[in-house]
Homo-oligomer: A and B are copies of this chain.
Amino acid sequence: MTRKTTSDVAGRSTIRDVAARAGVSASTVSRVLGGDYPVSTSTRTRVMRAVRDLDYVADARAKAIAGAGTPTLAFVLDDITGPSFAHMAHGVEREATRLGHLSLVCSTDGDAERQLEFIEMMRAQRAAAVILVGGTADTTEYRERMARIADSLASAGSRLVLCGRPPLDPGTPVTVIEYDNESGAYALCAHLLAQGHRRVLFLGGKPSNTTAQGREQGYLAAHRARGVTADPALRLFGDFTRDSGHRLMRQALAQDLDFTAVMASTDMVASGALTALHEAGLSVPEDVSLVGYDDIPFARDLNPPLTTVHVPYEDLGRLAVRTALTRTPDAPDEHLLLGTHVVVRASVAPPPDTRQ
């Protein structure tokens, strides 16, 4: 069957060509391509064959440009293997679906150039919002880059959302949703100090990372509030992974550092630290107390179950989407700060020398 087709000004097949070839209406073609069911299998097969025969992809792409396809929303994270961000992504995805958007995730391994490429692509696609998550190094270069991205997205009708990151300069078109790292870490460290601990080993993240900084600030503030000196030798820095916790804990034990409790900057770090303690023949909490941060699901499956700070990651993801998609164009820029709370489980006890 070779049928002369009409075409648009650029020489591309139109939806009417596809409909005519498949012997269905244009709206049926639209339903098939848009995933707007139900359409019978045989109809779908005919339509998709016509789409293929006429290389209708060109028009599908044109639709994507015009923003007539499923509206999208983009979520950018540094490390897809970090469970806390995965749960935030899950919240984003569920809320996006509820509001009729398809969410795309890009994991950039911390590479600013890849992040920019992805954002450019999402802007070209007229994504309704671009959500960047996780702490960052808060440099002048970073703020300038983010401001440019915020302006660029705003000019394309999109919206930049920063989640778990510090706000930008006033006037920048951005939605900021933070969770309070410092208060959470303060409450957690105060819990250890209240049990009688005076030498608390801190297993930190990257010193330049804003999330890591907030948690360290809370640790220090709790010491100050109690009038306890925080020995700088008890602060070790790595990153937020399980392997970092394992390595730093082994290092602390090898150096024979003097401590009775360990405050890990994430549950993943605590998980690796716990194994290092067990490997050294130490019991938690009998010999050493241990706390984490994030309350990821398996924190309660560690032995002992981990005392930690609950951060409502899935809710944060939902809130980021809802705030970005439901805002009116002239609304003021939002800056939300969400609270966290300590979840007490079984990994903390008074220090051994204070027990009867």
- In contact, A305 and B144 (Cβ under 8 angstroms): no
Contact of B118 with A93 in the complex, beta carbons under 8 Å: no
Q: What are 10 A-B pairs with beta-carbon distances under 8 A?
A: A45-B148, A58-B65, A62-B65, A72-B121, A80-B89, A80-B105, A89-B107, A93-B107, A94-B109, A242-B298
B298 touches A278 (CB 8 A): no
Q: Mark A185-222, 1 if CB is under 8 A from B, else 0.
A: 00000000000000000000000000000000000000
Closest chain-B Cβ to A223's Cβ sits at a distance in Å of 28
Question: B102 touching A118 by the CB < 8 A rule?
Answer: yes
Taking the nearest CB of chain B, how far is it from the CB of A118, in angstroms?
A: 6
**A113-B81 contact, Cβ under 8 Å, with A301-B274, A303-B302:** no
In the bound assembly, the distance between CA atoms of A80 and B79 in angstroms comes to 12
Shortest A94–chain B CB gap in Å is 7
A55 contacts partner chain B, Cβ-Cβ < 8 Å: yes
Closest to A243 in B: B297
Confirm or deny: A226 has a beta carbon within 8 angstroms of a beta carbon on chain B: no
Q: Inside 8 A of A151's CB, which chain B residues have their CB?
A: 48, 52
Q: Is B109 within 8 A of A106, CB to CB?
A: no
Given contacts A114-B102, A301-B274, contact A152 B51 (CB under 8 A): yes
> Is the CB of A90 closer than 8 A to any CB of chain B?
yes
Say how far A248's CB is from chain B's closest CB, in angstroms: 14
CB of A229 closer than 8 Å to a CB of B: no
- A294-320 CB mask vs B (1 if < 8 Å, else 0) is 000110111101000000000000000
Q: How many copies does the complex hold?
A: 2
Residues of B within 8 A of A102 (CB): 106, 114, 117-118, 121
Chain A interface (Cβ < 8 Å from any Cβ of B): 33-35, 37, 41, 44-45, 48-49, 51-52, 55, 57-58, 60-65, 69-70, 72, 79-81, 83, 86-87, 89-90, 93-94, 97, 102-107, 109, 111, 113-114, 116-118, 120-121, 123-126, 141, 144, 148, 151-152, 155-156, 242-243, 268, 271-272, 274-275, 278, 297-298, 300-303, 305
Distance (Å) between the CB of A304 and the closest chain B CB?
Answer: 8
Q: Do residues B109 and A93 form an inter-chain contact, with CB atoms below 8 A?
A: yes
- Shortest Cβ distance from residue A146 to the other chain B in the assembled complex, whole angstroms: 13
Whether A35 contacts B272 by the Cβ 8 Å rule is: no
A81's partner among B51, B87, B144 (CB-CB below 8 A) is B87
**Cross-chain contact B120 with A35 (CB below 8 angstroms):** yes
* CA–CA, A278 and B279, complex, Å: 20
Given contacts A48-B148, A106-B104, A301-B274, contact A65 B61 (CB under 8 A): yes
CA of A41 to CA of B114, assembled, Å: 14
Neighbour of A64 across the interface among B57, B116, B124, B242, CB < 8 A: B124
A113 to B121, CA, bound (A): 23
A35-B117, A144-B41 as given contacts; A242 in contact with B297, CB under 8 Å: yes
